[in-house]
A and B are shown apart, each in its own frame.
Chain A
């Protein structure tokens, strides 16, 4: 490279490298400055938080409030740190401390400032006022919140509806019901308050709003029916009209309504709902079947066992898992039906599926423990079921229990349960038990089982190590 060319190249590379360094240094400076400023802000916030925390502790523990606290309170009401602490304190405080905090807000003029902010031209001021009027729960503020629930700003309306949900007053119920109807009305041109916000507000109102909601569950638009069913699932009410409405909703055309109704019926604990819920286990929507199985697990009624056993072969694993869990909750009641199904069903895949789902819960372990009570009906039923489970290839849990169960009676009966199996895995386990078990009876039973049958290798249906 010639001298002039080399200099030019050095210049090009030098300028480029310099530009790169300047860019990187500028970016690093920006990054550092952001960090430094955020750290300083954080430190300042921490200092203020400590100061306010002392004030809060004083107010919450001591009934008397000196004027200095009132003036500090008034000054701090526009500070975000203070407001965070106040919101936290209002949420955690008991009734007495809460009323003290609210009284202090009133004395310091904060409530008046909030009520004036309701009339602000800026939407964020109105939203702030609505949020804090709801938190402070002032009765004077309810009229303002009702007015803000019809505000021109979408965000203010959302906040106002949410704030009304946390208050108790006869004037609130019609407002929330109107908001629910509006939220479900798709013909409105104005942006509606999200139905989740209205639903949350109505759930917070509790049982008081349940009865006026029932007609909407029957003849409202889909979104409203879904919301009402959701509310009823959160606010379980065992009154006959509610139960009747929920049973009707179980036949609704919308799957989400049916699912919520099944959920609500489970929480209500209505035994009369067992048959409709068992019917819902064959619904076309998987989440309806899921909630029906979950509800039947809560109700624990014997008449649902057949349907639950059938649902163990559902195409959705969540439904299968929930059904298996429901059957586990039913305990000994479910064992005969499961055994019958495994004995009589001609569908091999269904039986394998049932055995797999049982393995995924603690059902089989519980049945193994019942072997200790072999003289009782439950013990016999458990032995029959476990024999069927072993016959369908699921021997690992049984063999694990055969090696580790602390009770010799159980181990002996497990040898009996597994005695007819001819897989190499079982033979190996019997050999182990015959040589290493502490109990002579178990060793003898294993030896007997080994000599009783002529062993042949069998095909393993699952990914077994010994197959």
Chain B
């Protein structure tokens, strides 16, 4: 009986990896096709009978600054050069304004003013507002230090536009990002509640060459982009973004804004918006744009990569647990624990081969899927990014990237499985809401209404 159960389990594992391999190969084709089709569609002459509109829908870009980020001035400068005609930038300083932001504000001639701040979503106290004389569309909010979700909510309260582009901590927007994102919104502004796009991982500031953790982050980002582009036409925003998310303000206010999820705030928000609008039978569309929209910072070391992965995993597991009956939550949950499953299947089938439960062809199939198919998918993703961004890194960098793609299933994947296991354990131990309870001793003053 036990042997029979083991046999079925091993057969299920072999089927799982085989289906996974086929799905990955299909995704590589559909992702590439989606990117090419979108590019041709955008570059083609307009088919509409109407001309260009006289005024574009305005957007508020909310940027959160924490821990005195040394790149904040560059990020603000990059935002000032966006090629969209109607946008405002709200920089939320979570905690007292740091030296780097203060320097940027001096450079922009920002001065304190008394703005109306209506806390539609309850946030910690906003202690000061600044307005830049040289950049009239820039406002800086200084608030008591809490969490990034609270800072996002403060930015959302201050945002004046119907659509808000939330920018992740340390992320930058591509110059054409707002135009691309809002072009999708303009097609159906009432139904489209969220838009995101491809995010690239950038090297840590000051690093001369990409270290190996960054290369693995780059490969994972490329794989995520390829998967999201492949599934985007069917599922919309399937994989939650990290760097940039354009959302309809009305829809976010309807679900009470962001909730702290330790790096998975966007995923959580998308789940709740989808569910709330579905419950109220309201129209909703979440669009994934197969175009580069944002740059997200890469980890500086392996420890940073582990910490980031672990935090994101805990946050994502928390919000998936809240939304579990939903099909999308199942998919995201599956994706979070996929490293654990992959490694488990490889080890399990090897053990089963040792005990004579499977033959050599099944063993070979599982290891081919684990190593070769994954490397092929990573290589396809790298090639697609390569063709899309038309960058020209040195030959050595290209070699390192593909070498990392080969090593990734052997080294990074088992490590990711271990981090996932730790995250699952922590999630189980603490309970899904335990980390979200505010500490009464450090709870900040609420913003007076």
Q: Do these two chains really belong together in a complex?
A: yes
* Cβ–Cβ < 8 Å partners of B386 in chain A: 31, 34
Most B C-beta atoms less than 10 A away, residue of A12, A30, A192: A12
Binding-face segment, A139-147, A335-343, A356-364, A412-420: A356-364
Chain A count of residues within 8 A CB distance of the other chain: 77
* Cβ–Cβ < 8 Å partners of A291 in chain B: 54-55
The verdict on B371 contacting chain A, using a C-beta distance below 8 Å, is: yes
In the complex formed, the residue of A with least CB distance to B350 is A9
In the complex formed, the residue of A with least CB distance to B127 is A465
B52, A196: Cβ atoms closer than 8 Å: yes
A1, B129: Cβ atoms closer than 8 Å: no
The verdict on B406 contacting chain A, using a C-beta distance below 8 Å, is: yes
The verdict on A455 contacting chain B, using a C-beta distance below 8 Å, is: no
A20, B54: Cβ atoms closer than 8 Å: no
Query: How far apart sit A35 and B161, CA to CA, in the bound complex (Å)?
Result: 43
By Cβ-Cβ distance, the 5 closest A-B pairs, closest first, are: A27-B379, A463-B126, A317-B160, A19-B372, A287-B55
Tell me the smallest distance from the CB of A91 to a CB of chain B, in Å: 22
Residues 71-90 of A, flagged 1 when their CB comes within 8 A of B and 0 if not, give 00000000000000000000
Binding-face segment, B30-38, B111-119, B225-233: B111-119
Q: A26-B379, A286-B55, A318-B86 are in contact. List 5 more A-B contacts (CB 8 A).
A: A8-B353, A11-B360, A24-B378, A28-B401, A31-B398
* Cβ–Cβ < 8 Å partners of A16 in chain B: 364, 367-368, 370-372
Known: A27-B380, A397-B111. A352 touches B116 (CB 8 A): yes
The verdict on A226 contacting chain B, using a C-beta distance below 8 Å, is: yes
* Cβ–Cβ < 8 Å partners of B402 in chain A: 24-25, 27-28, 31
The verdict on B354 contacting chain A, using a C-beta distance below 8 Å, is: yes
The verdict on A158 contacting chain B, using a C-beta distance below 8 Å, is: yes
Residues 103-124 of B, flagged 1 when their CB comes within 8 A of A and 0 if not, give 0000000011111110000000
Tell me the smallest distance from the CB of A203 to a CB of chain B, in Å: 11
**B window 283-339: CB within 8 A of A:** none
A359, B136: Cβ atoms closer than 8 Å: no
The verdict on A183 contacting chain B, using a C-beta distance below 8 Å, is: yes
The verdict on A307 contacting chain B, using a C-beta distance below 8 Å, is: no
B50, A223: Cβ atoms closer than 8 Å: yes
Describe A's contact surface by its main secondary structure. helix
Residues 34-46 of B, flagged 1 when their CB comes within 8 A of A and 0 if not, give 0000000000011
The verdict on B125 contacting chain A, using a C-beta distance below 8 Å, is: yes
Query: How far apart sit A10 and B364, CA to CA, in the bound complex (Å)?
Result: 10
| Cβ contact of A15, chosen from B58, B161, B364, cutoff 8 A | B364
User: Chain B interface residue count: which class?
Assistant: 35 or more
Query: How far apart sit A223 and B405, CA to CA, in the bound complex (Å)?
Result: 52
In the complex formed, the residue of A with least CB distance to B161 is A317
B405, A24: Cβ atoms closer than 8 Å: yes
The verdict on B88 contacting chain A, using a C-beta distance below 8 Å, is: yes
Tell me the smallest distance from the CB of A185 to a CB of chain B, in Å: 9
The verdict on B399 contacting chain A, using a C-beta distance below 8 Å, is: yes
The verdict on A461 contacting chain B, using a C-beta distance below 8 Å, is: yes
Tell me the smallest distance from the CB of A218 to a CB of chain B, in Å: 18
Query: How far apart sit A23 and B402, CA to CA, in the bound complex (Å)?
Result: 10
Binding-face segment, A170-178, A208-216, A388-396: A388-396
A359, B367: Cβ atoms closer than 8 Å: no
* Cβ–Cβ < 8 Å partners of A17 in chain B: 371, 406, 410
In the complex formed, the residue of B with least CB distance to A29 is B402
Most A C-beta atoms less than 10 A away, residue of B86, B115, B383, B386: B115
A462, B115: Cβ atoms closer than 8 Å: yes
The verdict on B3 contacting chain A, using a C-beta distance below 8 Å, is: no
The verdict on B49 contacting chain A, using a C-beta distance below 8 Å, is: yes
The verdict on A400 contacting chain B, using a C-beta distance below 8 Å, is: yes
The verdict on B375 contacting chain A, using a C-beta distance below 8 Å, is: yes
B409, A20: Cβ atoms closer than 8 Å: yes
Query: How far apart sit A28 and B406, CA to CA, in the bound complex (Å)?
Result: 11
In the complex formed, the residue of A with least CB distance to B375 is A20
A12, B52: Cβ atoms closer than 8 Å: no
Binding-face segment, A95-103, A245-253, A256-264: A256-264
* Cβ–Cβ < 8 Å partners of B429 in chain A: none
In the complex formed, the residue of A with least CB distance to B46 is A194
The verdict on A165 contacting chain B, using a C-beta distance below 8 Å, is: no
Tell me the smallest distance from the CB of A14 to a CB of chain B, in Å: 9
Known: A8-B360, A27-B379, A317-B58. A186 touches B49 (CB 8 A): yes
Tell me the smallest distance from the CB of A186 to a CB of chain B, in Å: 6
The verdict on B18 contacting chain A, using a C-beta distance below 8 Å, is: no
Query: How far apart sit A290 and B141, CA to CA, in the bound complex (Å)?
Result: 27
Most A C-beta atoms less than 10 A away, residue of B111, B161, B368, B371: B371
* Cβ–Cβ < 8 Å partners of B58 in chain A: 316-318
| Cβ contact of A259, chosen from B55, B141, B379, cutoff 8 A | B55
Tell me the smallest distance from the CB of B120 to a CB of chain A, in Å: 14
